[in-house]
Structure 1
């Protein structure tokens, strides 16, 4: 390799160090202090911030609980919906191409636009959701939607699924189109049905695509900051508070040291969940 080629990664490496590595190290430094973000001096509190998070901070634990509920619904239903759409639209016909574009369209909208669209749908008085239910004779199923504290986080999760399912569909389509057609032909000759072909050929062969979709969907569900604010206001009420909005609120209260500790826990949760998901996917696809 020519020595000059080693020069090309330098700009990207410099940007990474300045904007990612250094701030991450500073977050570690501030997480063990009581820094308010403005004072020139601050005191070390050791692991006090982390102990307080798990033993004496009901707001943080509530946000964590909400985020886990949100993530579970989004990962399961968004992945399943994206996979179903990809299976039905994998062929490169004119109709499939048009439908792909239709399902992908929400992804190009801004999160704020999506939030306001669904805020109108969820409005309990004149929103589209209750109006449709009443129009088809299902008025007893009308809901307060975001006004129902026990259900609010799940309605936001449905919005997230609608928002990004088309994006994940494209990844699955790429994975499905990479499966050799000869495998399906051989399976049909051996008398394997559609379900057998899916479990023994399709599912193991799209393992890389599935890993990408699940990991990306998980990260999205922890970073649904603007969608939560658009639907729940600023700051969101307790029933809609997730980790990203809780960290924002802590920074806004000039508790920078405490917010830095929350941010590290936030990153650790995402990393742990993604690693666990990857191992679980490997196990299920090996068994298939």
Structure 2
């Protein structure tokens, strides 16, 4: 009993903090999702499932969901491929690889707001770096409005997300590559396997746990890119970069519809959990032996 009590004493402070800062707000948000609370009034009425129906039938929510899926697909595809390619190039123990790894990892330590402000300047159609590059090449009129054109704005922001986090995912892949026994690759080479054959039959199957982490984490990141999109576009132009988190924010702090915002948050949680579960099932993470 004394041993158990001492263990609980160590656990209790962290457990209390978690309960106060995470569990209680989550349960409170779930409760308010069934009310018409505006976030300010001391009173509210229970509305049942009305908020959920309103959110699901909202054209802005449907647009935000579609934008989120586009953003996720672009980020997961590009970031996974680029981080894997960089990891394959820099997984060795050469001394020159250390500064290169640090260089590619550097954007990950920047705050997302800083990244958004930097790239807003890069994309600026008047004085931006990309505009200057087009001017230098004599193609002044060909430069698109990267975050002002609703057809490409979501992909322009996705490119920034990839730039900021590819180095971070590269480290995960490098850790996985360095855990693969060299003897397996040597045996495959002796059997006549080329580089592609060794990668497909030896390296990639043993990288499956790392790939699962990268894809799942990248998916969650892409759905929680609120600060990047809020800094760069605030969901514009014409909701072209609106994602679910910015939609929830605008409901709560622009329209003061906290009940609907809470319902949107609950739906967002269910969607994210379902996508993560499907990814793990697709990658057969539960069958991988760590």
Q: Same fold (TM over 0.5)?
A: yes
| TM superposition shift of 1:235 | 7.5
- Superposition misfits of 4+ residues, deviation over 6 angstroms: none
Q: How many residues align?
A: 284
Which digits, 9 at most, give the CA deviation of each residue in 1:46-100, with x for residues without a partner?
1111111222x11111111111111110111011111110110001212111110
The answer to whether structure 1 residue 206 and structure 2 residue 202 are counterparts is: no
CA drift of 1:110 comes to: 1.4
1:271 paired residue number:
273
Quick check: 1:251 aligned with 2:232? Answer: no
Q: Which residue of 2 aligns with 1:37?
A: 39
CA distance in 1 between partners of 2:147 and 2:203 (Å): 38
Preserved contact between residue 228 and residue 236 of structure 1 (Cα < 8 Å) = no
Q: CA deviation at 1:136?
A: 3.7
Residue 87 of structure 1 pairs with residue 88 of structure 2: yes
- The one of 39, 50, 58 equivalent to 2:52 is 50
Larger deviation: 57-66 or 1-10? Answer: 1-10
The aligned residue for residue 262 of structure 1 is: 264
Deviation per CA, 1:222-263: give whole Å up to 9, x if none.
111111122114887511211111111111122111110000
Distance 2:137 2:95 in 1: 33
2: distance between equivalents of 1:92 and 1:236? 47
Structure 1 length-normalised TM:
0.93
Conservation of the 8 A alpha-carbon contact between 1:235 and 1:249 = no
Residue of structure 1 in register with 2:28 after alignment: 26
The superposition leaves residues 139-189 of structure 1 with CA deviations (integer Å, 9 ceiling, x where unpaired) of 564211111111100000000000110011111111111111111011001
Specify the alignment match of 2:12 in structure 1: 10
CA RMSD of superposed structures (Å): 2.0
- Correspondences of 1:1-288 after superposition (within 5 Å): 2-3=3-4, 4-55=6-57, 57-136=58-137, 141-233=142-234, 237-252=238-253, 253-282=255-284
Contact 1:130 1:139 (8 Å CA) reproduced: yes
| Ranges in structure 1 where 5+ consecutive residues have no aligned partner | none
For residues 160 and 48 of structure 1, the distance between their equivalents in structure 2, rounded to whole angstroms, comes to 35
Q: TM-score, normalised by structure 2?
A: 0.92
Structure 1's 250 and 236: CA in aligned 2 closer, same or farther, altered over 3 A?
Answer: farther
Distance 1:158 1:211 in 2: 22
Counterpart CA distance in 2 for 1:233 and 1:24 is: 25
